[in-house]
Each structure stands twice: as structure tokens, then as C-alpha cells.
Structure 1
Amino acid sequence: MSVEIPDQVEPVIENRPDLFASIVWFNFLQELVRQHNALQATVAEQQTQIDDLTSRVEALESLHP
């Protein structure tokens, strides 16, 4: 696969010339994974904040029945 010629493709599976991917596809996939990982980190951080707030509310509710 050549970076200089973006339209050049290589078979994904040997002996299957009908299955191929260009360098553009691999760049897209890399970016998709990067954005997914960033989103997962954001979701995990937000869940931690939600859990913290939930425990604070529960603590306050236990002080004033």
C-alpha cells in the first residue's frame, strides 16, 4: 500500500482480490477509534461525577430523615 498514491489498494485477505481497503479507510478507522476512546473517557468521568453527587445526596438525606 502506498501513501503517495491514495487510490492504490491492496487485498485485505490474500487470494481475495475483491476484498481491499485503501489508506483512507485505515486513516478513518484510526480516527474513529481515537474519538470513541475520547468519548468513553468522557462518559467514565461523567459517571464518576454522578456517583459522587449521588453519594453526597444520600449522605445528606441520612442526616435529615
Structure 2
Amino acid sequence: MESKEERVARRHRERDEKMRATPGFKAFNVMFVLAYPFIAVFTFVISSILALMSGVSRAGAWLASGGRSK
């Protein structure tokens, strides 16, 4: 007789196997792999713009304070 832990693990395995067999799961994986480079580039560009704007803002605050702010 299987223990409770083994039964739970088996049910999880069976559920995962069923999920991975669905067309939606396979389509999502393909789309994610194809879209990942675009997601990475978009993230890099937005982060760079944010860093640039933050630097401009900090420089403006420094100038507005007469060079006294940190």
C-alpha cells in the first residue's frame, strides 16, 4: 500500500502530465520561447530609459539645491 506522500506525489505527477499534454500548454511554451528575446530587449530599453530619466532628475535636483543635495 502506498503512503500518503507517495499518493500525493503520484497525483501531482499525473496532473502535470495531463497539463503538459494540452495544446494550450504547448502553444504557450512555443510562444514564450519565441517572444523571450523581445521581452528581454523591451525590459532593457525601458530600464535604460528609467535610469537615464532618474539621472536627469537627480542632476536637476542637485542644480536646484545649489549643489548641496547628496
TM-score exceeds 0.5: yes
Q: Which amino acid aligns with 1:38?
A: V
Q: Could you list the runs of 5+ residues in structure 2 that have no partner in the other structure?
A: 1-15
1:29 corresponds, among 8, 32, 40, to 32
For the pair shown, the structure with the greater C-alpha radius of gyration is 2
Q: Counterpart of 1:59?
A: 62
Structure with more of its chain in strand, by fraction: 1
User: What is the percent sequence identity of the aligned residues?
Assistant: 6
Q: Which amino acid aligns with 2:51?
A: T
Cα RMSD, aligned residues only = 2.8
TM-score, normalising length from structure 1?
Answer: 0.56
Paired residues, number: 50
Instruction: Provide structure 1 residue ranges, at least 5 long, that are not aligned to the other structure.
Output: 1-12
The one-letter code of the counterpart of 1:39 is F
